[in-house]
Amino acid sequence: MTVTHHPSAETLGAYAAGSLDTARRLVVASHLERCGVCRRAVGNFEAVGGALLEGLPPTPMDADALTRLMARLDAAPEPATPQARPAHDMSGLPACLAPYALGRWRWIGPGLEVRPILLPQAGGARLLLLKGAPGARLPQHSHSGEELAAVLTGAFTHDGGRFGAGDFEEADESVEHRPVVTPDEACICLIAIEGRVRMSGVVGALLNPFVRI
């Protein structure tokens, strides 16, 4: 498998710094499972961050710091019993998704379905699986916020090129495109989406009230 499209340096740096929300972090993590180039880049970011921390001057501790720490440890609750991992009805999902339950598939257009991934906390981007049948066409659309997508299976094309399994795409308010699934097999993408998808053109105006992504 040859990975052609990668996250931006800014996105990889934010991942290494731990500043991405859960949905975005999981999409990047799913790409890293397949891309050694980006894993090495994240390792470099982490190394630079560690070197910067080592270069900071030490901060003196308060005289009672140890006493307060021990009091917090004594008051700490018993660790919770580990929860069983959700039983997924889909094989081949990235390992980073194993702890998360899946919602139901929902039809959004001819040959197109979405399935939410249920994150434990509210806020931030939403996380979902988008599945397109062979040859399916998404309507021309833009975004009211950032969208990160990692291709899990199959492939799609648009003006930006061909995106196959392992590839990564970033889009924001400035991007308008119309992905088309290649005709050889279905395509499933893991998507973190902020805001809403806005359909363009006459058909899009008709679909917008019904297609809520």
What pLDDT is recorded for position 213?
Answer: 58
What pLDDT is recorded for position 8?
Answer: 96
Distances (CA, A) of 77 to 20, 65, 71, 84, 89: 28, 20, 12, 20, 34
Question: What's the token pair of residue 160?
Answer: 């930006």
Distance separating alpha carbons of residues 133 and 122, to the nearest angstrom: 30
Distance separating alpha carbons of residues 142 and 144, to the nearest angstrom: 7
Q: From first to last of its 213 residues, what are the pLDDT tens digits of the chain?
A: 689 999 999 999 999 999 999 999 999 999 999 999 999 999 999 887 555 555 556 667 677 766 776 777 666 565 554 455 565 778 889 999 999 999 999 998 889 999 999 998 767 899 999 999 999 988 776 766 789 999 999 999 998 899 999 999 998 877 777 889 999 999 999 999 987 666 665 444 444 444 455
Model-wide pTM > 0.85: no
Distance separating alpha carbons of residues 50 and 28, to the nearest angstrom: 21
Q: Which amino acid is at 56?
A: L
Distance separating alpha carbons of residues 196 and 173, to the nearest angstrom: 10
What pLDDT is recorded for position 23?
Answer: 95
For residue 76, what is the DSSP state?
Answer: P
